[in-house]
Amino acid sequence: MRNVKITIQYDGTDYHGWQMQLNGRTVQGELTAALSRIDGRPVVIHGAGRTDAGVHAEGQVASFNIASEIGATELRDAINGNLNRDIRVLKAEFVDSSFHARLSAKRKTYRYRIWNRDIVPPFVHRYVYHYRGNLDIEEMRRAGSFLVGTHDFRAFAGAVAESRNAIRTLERLDVEPDADVITITAAANGFLRYMVRTIAGTLIEVGRGHLGAETVAEALEQNNRALAGPTAPASGLTLAQVDY
């Protein structure tokens, strides 16, 4: 058996997230079916991150074991030949047996894109959150600065975080405007479910003037989800990169 690492891009709009489900089309399910056909046996695939329904990926990473003696480029092409075009394997490579896409990951970087104009072009609407009002970028940055570092992030996650370790190290949180788009970039050693989308929703509320930057710090200190903003829509979120 050989251990394989693949780098994947996908448009998550029409999927029920990464993780395989009994009912619902998922990215992991599509890849598992393709690999099992290629290898002639059930193949178990592990992803670096479990993106939610509607979330996209430019640099998702997955790993699995394969018995076939097929070459790396041929394997990449064979997988793509068994997938719909909204999922593409960019690269396949054989790696040491100790490599695991999730457990070996050191850092994940997500981008949340806000389309900040009156009209969203049809070519980008699947990949952004549309907000047409004015947003105070400097206040969004100031609020975000409170979140950088090692904290308990349960105030910025789903309810499941209440029952497990919610401490994460947020290494980077940038808010950058560029023409029609405001991009929130978050990099951490790991993320809780809905964490990036809740941070994005909170910063948007700060930018609108509906939430004070200091309230973000209070939400973090008090572990109080009610003080944070709403969870922003999935369409704007993309898993950009995984570092090892």
In order of start, what are the domains of the chain with their CATH numbers? 2-95 (3.30.70.580), 107-243 (3.30.70.660)
182: its two tokens = 């405001």
Phi first, then psi, for residue 32 (nearest 5°) are -60, -45
| pTM score of the predicted model | 0.95
pLDDT at 163: 52
Catalytic residues: 52
- The CA distance from 101 to 166, in Å, is 21
Nearest partner of 14 among 51, 47, 58, 55, judged by Cα: 55
Structure tokens that stand for 223 in this block:
């572990």
For residue range 38-48, what is the model confidence (pLDDT) as tens digits? 999 999 999 99
Q: What is the pLDDT of residues 150-202, one digit of tens each?
A: 999 999 997 655 557 899 999 999 999 999 999 999 999 999 999 999 999 99
Q: Which residues pair with residue 241 across a beta bridge? A: 109
- With the CA atoms of 133, 137, 143 and 147 taken in that order, what torsion angle do they form, in degrees rounded to the nearest 10? 110
**Residue 5's pLDDT is what?**
98
**Beta-sheet pairing, 181-188 with 167-178:** antiparallel
Task: Tell me the pLDDT tens digit for each residue of 66-114.
Answer: 999 999 999 999 999 999 999 999 999 999 999 999 999 999 999 999 9
Q: 234: pLDDT confidence band, cut at 50, 70 and 90?
A: very high
**Predicted pLDDT of residue 158:** 79
Q: Residue 160: its pLDDT value, please?
A: 57
Q: pLDDT tens, 108-130?
A: 999 999 999 999 999 999 999 99
Nearest to 1 by CA among 52, 65, 49, 85: 65
